[in-house]
Every structure is written in C-alpha cells, then in structure tokens.
Chain A
C-alpha cells in the first residue's frame, strides 16, 4: 500500500463526506423526536412520562455507546477514523462491522484487515461491500413497514390511556424474554462447552457480568418499590450495567 493511504482515509474530505451523513442522520433523529413530542402533547399524553422516556433512554444509551466507540477505535487502525465512525453512528452494528470488514478485506485480496495491507481500491471495495450487505433492514422498511404494521395492528389498535393490554402486548414481552433467554443460554453454553463438550473451561465472565448486573438491578428495584425512591428507575439499567462491567474488570478476563 501507499504509505499515505491510512492518512488519506482520515483526511478532511473523508471526514466531510462521513460527517455530512452523520449530521443528516442526527437531523433525522431530531425531526422524529420533535414530531413525536408534539404528537404526544396533542393527544394529551403526560409530559412527565415523555420526559422520563427521553431521560431514561439517554442514560441507558451512554454505556453501549462507549462500547461502540471502542469498535470505532478498533477499526480505525485499518480503515481510518471517519469510515468506522460513520458506519457505527449510522445503520451499522458493533458485531456486524468487524466481521464484514474482515470478510470483505479477504474478498478484496488483502492478506488481513490491517492498515499496513490496505490499498485505496481495496478500501473503496470493502466500504461498498460493508454498505451493500447491511441495507436490507432499510429496504424492507421502505417497502413493507406500513403494510406490515397495518396488518398487525389494524384489528387490535387501542387508544392512548386504554389500560387493558391485549395479546399483542404480552407477545412483545414474551418475545423479549425469548431474546434475553437466547443470549443468557449462549453464555451458559459457551462456558459449559465452548472449549469442548461439558469441559466447563469456557469463559464464565459473561455469566458473572450478567449475574452482577441482575443483582444490581434487583437492588435498584428494591429501592424503587420498597423505599419509594422512584427516581432511581431513570438510571437503574445504566447503573446496573456499569456495576456488571466493573465486575468484568474485577474478574479481569
């Protein structure tokens, strides 16, 4: 590779291209947020509730965002800074980017995904493959979101303030339980059989982290429900995650 390609990948024009797209998405988020807020006010929703949703979501998102920042740093050594910044701010997913970048670099004929092996043509090819492989969520949304939601919600739609939940609400809760169960099960499976069936030599750190995080959440729930400290609800998930992550540091694996 030309020794300056990594520097070129972090040059002002590339920052402007990527930064422009990030700014566009930030504006989209603000527009959707303002519209939703106004609609909530117009239909008589409690402003305190909406404020709580915003505060809790903001505090909730900080730690995962730091994890995502680490992904940007990890990829910046081979793809420069602006591209991973764009990818992980918009559309990308932490687990997706590294895998696809790796596979795309192999397809582009690089011996490995690294700054020293990167060429300008390989980069633009890798960048296109990374973009093209993950666009389907957006395409499906454009084509089918309206019809799909209309079909699902058309018959059982409820008005705001209606208390009685139908099966749709229960099903969404159950789906989330299924999602958490799949991930917790995978941590257990990795520990028990990750290094060979029933050897119990796999990593137990994710299990310990999940357990500490769950215990911390139990403590915050107790404070909220038994001691009437409702304000802790706004930060309980973020604080529990932080304690879980600190446990990982303490375990040191």
Chain B
C-alpha cells in the first residue's frame, strides 16, 4: 500500500470517527435544547405527552429518515452524509447541490474524488445556509415585510420547482430515454391519485427504482456489446 492509499484510508477512518462523534454531540444538543429552554422558561417539556404522541406524529418521519438514509448516503459518501444529516434540508438543497458539484468536476460516484467533492459541497452549502439565516435573523425587522410581501410570495413558494426544472434539464438531456419512463409513470400516477402529492418524498423510491432498473438493462446491453 503506497503512502497516498494509507493516507486515504486514515482519512476515511477518521471521517467516520469524527462523523459519529459530531453526530452524537449534535443529537445530544438538539434533544437537550428543549430542556435547557424549558429551564429558562420555568416549564419543562411534558414527557408523558411526548411519549404518547411520538409515534402518531413521528412515524412518517421515521420511515422517511430510513428511506433518506438508504438512498442518499451512497450519493453523498461518508463525510457528505454525516454533514447532510446534521445540517438537514436534503431534498431541497443538499442532494442537488452535491450532485451539481460532482457533475461540474466530473467525479464518479464511489470514488475518493467524489467523497472529497461531496464533503466540500455539503459543508459549503451548510455554511451558506447558516450565514444567510444568521444575517436574515439579525435583520429580521427590516426584512420581514420584504420576505413576506404578497408580491414575492409565489417566488419563495416555488424554490423547489425552480431547482428541479434546472436540474431536470441538465439530467434529462444526458439520457432522455432513461428519463421518459419514470416521468411518464409518475405523471400518470399523480394524475390518477392526486392524494399522493403529499408523499412525493416517498414516491422518489419507486421512481428511482424504475430509473435504476432501466439503467441496469441499458448497462448490461452495453456490457454485452463491449462498450463499458
């Protein structure tokens, strides 16, 4: 094993160690904060109520977290995924951001290069959000009327469609045949069962499954033809 490989192995081991430590620390802080705030306010959380209502409120988010972990961890790599699960806002920011960065530099999934680029991307994105929110909170009084003006409301309500429109073009043009089937199937499903729009995050799984299945068939075909 050469020096570079040894360095990378050490880097990865330390990334997992650091990721676990900071995740646990963040977990303790986030769960501890309501108690600390409760102490300041002189009113502790009602633990009985939290236990009784936890499943009814949290079940959908537990399932969603499992799905997000299984799907997005391989996309983001180790450092990127530890950071992304700490900083949040995965679908509407971190995932597209990391994918965009990966594409811009031409990194391949599963490589050390992608691990580095993904970590840089998620860390940058997290810092930008923290900065924007800190400035926004500091300037809340003058910003509130602007941010909440009815004129601008449609713009802020449509950040995700704007994001997926731009990213959609970028990805669809690379493989329009692959994109057509999931888009068609999802459109038909959502038209026939509009109630599913509340579970779009979960519908990513079958949609992604269809796309991956088709990609696999294409890959096998190219393998047989000796093109990959």
Contact = CB atoms under 8 A, between A and B. Distances in A.
Contacts of A92: 88-89
Contacts of A100: 57, 61
A199 B54 CA distance: 38
B35 A165 contact: no
A229 interface: no
B170 to A, nearest CB: 6
Interface string A64-79: 1111111011101000
Contacts of B119: 32-33, 35-36
Interface string B107-142: 011111101110111111111111011101100100
A237 B215 CA distance: 25
Interface string B199-213: 011011001111110
B124 A61 contact: yes
Interface in A15-38: 17-18, 21-22, 24-26, 28-33, 35-37
A53 B120 contact: yes
A93 B105 CA distance: 27
Given A124-B44, A152-B74, A189-B196, A248 B158 contact: yes
Contacts of A234: 104
Contacts of B91: 93, 179
B26 A251 contact: no
B189 A138 contact: no
Contact of A54 (B54, B56, B124, B152): B124
B183 to A, nearest CB: 4
B168 A53 contact: no
B73 A141 contact: yes
Nearest to B111: A158
Interface majority SS on A: helix, strand, loop or mixed?
A: helix
A158 B110 contact: yes
A21 B30 contact: yes
Interface string A105-149: 001100000000001110111011101111111111110111011
Contacts of A22: 130, 133-134
Contacts of A249: 151-152, 154-155
B92 A141 contact: no
Interface string B56-73: 111001100110111101
A177 B124 contact: no
In which size bucket is the chain A interface? Answer: 35 or more
A9, A161, A210 — most chain B CB neighbours (10 Å): A210
Interface string B73-98: 11101110111011111111101111
Given A181-B211, A192-B191, A141 B164 contact: no
Contacts of B168: 180, 184, 210, 214
Contacts of B216: 167, 171
B194 to A, nearest CB: 4
Contact of A214 (B34, B125, B130, B169): B169
Nearest to B148: A73
B226 interface: no
A38 B177 CA distance: 40
Interface string A30-56: 111101110110111110011011101
Given A65-B128, A76-B140, A42 B166 contact: no
B27, B30, B78, B99 — most chain A CB neighbours (10 Å): B30
A223 interface: no
B212 A174 contact: yes
Contacts of A156: 110
A133 B58 CA distance: 5
B32 to A, nearest CB: 9
Contacts of A88: 88-89, 129, 133
Contact of A56 (B104, B122, B132, B133): B104
A104 B123 contact: no
Interface in B152-184: 152, 154-175, 178-179, 182-183
A233 B208 CA distance: 26
Contact of B8 (A9, A43, A139, A180): A43
Contact of B50 (A132, A140, A158): A132
Contacts of B212: 171, 174-175, 178
19 contacts: A8-B41, A57-B125, A60-B97, A63-B162, A64-B92, A76-B140, A81-B137, A86-B33, A89-B87, A104-B57, A107-B53, A134-B65, A148-B70, A168-B74, A177-B175, A178-B204, A184-B183, A185-B185, A237-B170
